[in-house]
Amino acid sequence: MKKYMDKLSRNIHINKNLFIFLLVIVIIGITAGALFTAIISTEDKELVTSYLNDFITNIKEGKLIYENSLINALILTIGVALIIWLLGVSVIGFIVVIVILFLKAFVLGFSVGSIIATFKVKGILLAFIYSFPHQVINILVFMLISAFALIMSFKIINSITSKKPLDLKHFMNRYLIILIFSCLVLLISSLYEIYVVPKLINFVMSILKW
The pLDDT of 62-71, averaged and rounded, is 83
Give the pLDDT score at 81: 95
What are the backbone angles phi and psi of residue 168, rounded to the nearest 5°?
Answer: -100, 10
For residue 38, what are the CA distances in angstroms to 29, 51, 111?
15, 17, 12
Give the pLDDT score at 32: 95
For residue 106, what are the CA distances in angstroms to 34, 35, 54, 172?
8, 10, 23, 30
pTM of the full structure: 0.85
> Domain ranges in the chain?
2-208
CA atoms within 13 A on the CB side of 133: 7
Give the pLDDT score at 156: 78
Is residue 34 a contact partner of residue 113, using CB atoms and an 8 Å limit? yes
Angstrom distance (rounded) from CA 184 to CA 190: 10
pLDDT tens-digit series, residues 85-130: 999 887 777 889 999 999 999 999 999 998 888 888 888 888 898 8
The pLDDT of 48-57, averaged and rounded, is 83
Angstrom distance (rounded) from CA 85 to CA 103: 16
Angstrom distance (rounded) from CA 20 to CA 112: 23
Angstrom distance (rounded) from CA 192 to CA 200: 11
